[in-house]
Each structure stands twice: as C-alpha cells, then as structure tokens.
Structure 1
Amino acid sequence: MSYAVDEFGVDYPGGTFLSGDRFLACPRCRELVDAGDWKGLRDWIGPNGLDTSSRAMLFGFKAHRRGGAVELAAQAGPEEQLS
C-alpha cells in the first residue's frame, strides 16, 4: 500500500529531509491510518520506533496525506510504482 502526500520537509540540525510524494504502509498500518487511529499507529510502531524525527515524519504524513491507500501492483517494487 502507498499513500500520496504533498511533499513536506522535516528540519534536522544538518538540513532538511524531504518526504517525497508517497508513504508506504504495511496492511496493519493501513488499517490504523484509514481508521484515523493515530494513537494506535504510534503504539503499533512501538516506543523505540518513534524518536523525535520519526514523530515529525508521522505528523507530516498525517497533515499532508492526499486520499486513501493505493495498492501496489504485484511483483513490483515501490520504486516502480512511483514513476
């Protein structure tokens, strides 16, 4: 699954990390995102998976997501889906 997003940046001490135009999601993450269960998503990722920069990316995804999930074609890697 992937979600289209309006590209955004997260500032780091060494510069800005750009999000790109898509976020990939596993099936469980999709369920949580589609349900709007952001706390559940944070819990699913786990406390060790959400440092400050990861929280900033998750918040950016929430704020900049455009529409629902799009299925990835079978046998195709994510890079093939983004073109």
Structure 2
Amino acid sequence: MNELPEPELWTDEYKAQILLNAAGSIEEWDETSAEVRSWGLDPAKIPYVDPNHRGTLPTRAEMYESIRRARAELGIRRSA
C-alpha cells in the first residue's frame, strides 16, 4: 500500500507572505496587514514582501475602473 506524503504545513509568516503579495488594492493590503498584525507579525518584516508594495497598488476604485476599461476595449459585456 502506498503511503501519502505528509501535508505541507504553512507557517503564519509564509501565509502572510502569500496574502500580502496577492493584495490587489490598497484596501485589500490594509485588510490583510491588519490580519497579519493580529497574528503577532509585522507586515514590514515579512520576507519576500517589498516594504513599499502598498505604495504601488491602486485603490479598489482605480482597480475596478481599469478592469471596466479593459473589458470595454475587448468588447466584453458584463454577464447578468
């Protein structure tokens, strides 16, 4: 019988890295940073996360407007 490998266990630091790097807007970054701080971690000290990442993000409104423009350029209509 084949044994399954042990599942990978993610540390809070690794989860913070994934979540912070996946933030798509300033608001999402702020929400994620608050969650990371609730784990007792400093978002500015998470490895592989640019300390200025928040400064490179659009606001949620800017992100949605960018998506709307791209959809319009491609002729994609919103589904109901």
**Common fold: TM-score over 0.5:** no
Which structure's residues are more often helix, by fraction?
2
Coarse TM-score class (shorter-chain normalised): under 0.3
Richer in strand (by share)? 1
- After TM superposition, the score normalised by the length of structure 1 is 0.25
TM-score, normalised relative to structure 2:
0.25
Q: Which of 1 and 2 has greater Rg? A: 2
